[in-house]
Amino acid sequence: MVLTLLAFIIALGVLIVIHELGHYSVARACGVKVLRFSVGFGPVLWRRLDRHETEWAVSAIPLGGYVKMLDEREGNVDPELLAQTFNRKTVWQRIAIVAAGPVANLLLAALLYAGLSFYGSVQPQPVLAGPSVGTVAALAGVQERDQILRVDGRTVESWTDARWHLMKTMTNRGLSELEVRDAQGAVQRRLIDFSAADIRDMEQDLLSREGFQLALPTPVIGEVMAGSAAEQAGLRPNDVILQVGELAAPNAKTFVDAVQAHPGQPVSLRVERDGAELLLSVTPALALDEASGRQVGRIGARISGNFPTVRVQTGLIASLGHGVVRTAEVAGFSLKMLGKMVVGEVSVKNLSGPVTIADYAGQTARIGLEAYIGFMALISVSLGVLNLLPIPMLDGGHLLYYLVEIIRGSPPPEKWMELGQRAGFGILMLMMAVALFNDMTRLFT
């Protein structure tokens, strides 16, 4: 719980500071006097006044922040300071100041994605498990141990990339062509038809439901117990199981199943040891499975898994390009999902609030720094996209007003803006209520 809260507060604090620094820096560049820069709301925990007479503050509730600028609409202004008021700046300057916050979040996401790409990471190769009958993957002819080489002509190295491209096609209910290398080493093509895919519940692993899952790991012998059937058969730690009985290329689960199914009966094994293949025979000892109460076979060795992996890493320039492209793709995907929610193609229960975000912050922090940075990049994109929505009270709502001002040649009437603010407040409260309801539902179910 402590790690979850700490990870959540750090992530949210960084993203809020970057967002508000975007507004602050452009406002200062445009000659606007900034009265206050606040991280959080409620009781002030810390404050400091700088040489520009801007108050910097940290408040108790870390669920937002704001930059307060000098503005005639909020009170009387000394005549000598009128040139520094926000409302007297040109419409293009006001657009730049308001847009700078969301843009700062998108730029941060691009830098985080670029940093991850430049640093590199070890990821699973896109080697697929055999799909269940009737799934989209099965209907397309996907086979056990198919390794994805290309998705719609794009070379993919890792399961992360393959999954991303497949998800984009799936949410569009389109067609996708996979180029795969099958278990025999032949290159094949699989045409994937997602036209009938159900994408309403994005909380589920939609690709897994349609038969796209990573193959289970190849079984590897770990610790061998003294005097066990495994030791008597000549098995050693790090032996890779290539075949058990008639079953070629078993995974960890099917190997254990085969052993358990032959108590007291010899089972032939083909293993790889130090690059050479060996043929062995093991006779599993008779044992009682406490869970099922039946007699099963045990060989007395720990079984670990060997996932095929690849290190994905790019150079400095390529990583910057990757960061920009990934940010644009994630932003576009987020907008598309919001649009599908509005028209009912995707369930609103996919909206997440602070409880779910905090949970993911804690989970990714436990996994490691790379996962946590990836989480921060994703949330930074979401924050940028959300604030650019044309909803009054958000940055995008103000940009909408400025667009109307450009078209009309004058600001919208005050009555319009008041109605817009009320409507925007209602929309945001509704979204927050739905998100919190979803959070509580996830928490208690």
| pLDDT tens digits for range 364-419 | 999 889 999 999 999 999 999 999 999 988 999 999 999 999 998 888 888 888 88
pLDDT on residue 192: 93
Confidence band for 443, pLDDT divided at 50, 70 and 90: confident
- The verdict on 327 and 426 lying in the same domain is yes
- Could you say which of 305, 327, 348 is where a domain stops? 305
> 50 in a domain, yes or no?
no
Region 312-341 average pLDDT: 92
The percentage of residues in the chain with a pLDDT greater than 90, rounded to a whole number, is: 56
> 14 in a domain, yes or no?
no
What is the pTM for the complete model shown? 0.83
> 79 in a domain, yes or no?
no
- The verdict on 142 and 228 lying in the same domain is no
- The verdict on 145 and 225 lying in the same domain is no
CB atoms inside a 10 Å sphere around CB 78: 8
Q: Which domain holds residue 275?
A: 218-305
- The verdict on 231 and 301 lying in the same domain is yes
Mean pLDDT score across all residues of the chain: 90
Using alpha carbons, list the distances in angstroms from residue 205 to 202, 349, 356, 413: 7, 15, 17, 48
Task: Give the separation between CA 153 and CA 330, rounded to whole angstroms.
Answer: 20
pLDDT on residue 323: 95
> 403 in a domain, yes or no?
yes
- The verdict on 347 and 443 lying in the same domain is yes
Select which of 20, 55, 203, 370 is catalytic: 20
CATH of the domain at 274: 2.30.42.10
- The verdict on 108 and 168 lying in the same domain is no
Q: Which residue has the tokens 């000659």?
A: 31
Number of domains in the chain: 3
> 152 in a domain, yes or no?
yes
Cα four-point dihedral sign 328, 331, 337, 340: negative
Task: Give the separation between CA 163 and CA 156, rounded to whole angstroms.
Answer: 10
Residue 176, strand partner residues: 192
- The verdict on 285 and 238 lying in the same domain is yes
**Residues, the chain, total?**
445
> 64 in a domain, yes or no?
no
- Could you say which of 239, 270, 305 is where a domain stops? 305
- The verdict on 183 and 256 lying in the same domain is no
Q: Is 177 a catalytic residue?
A: no
**CA torsion 60→62→64→67, rounded to 10°?**
50
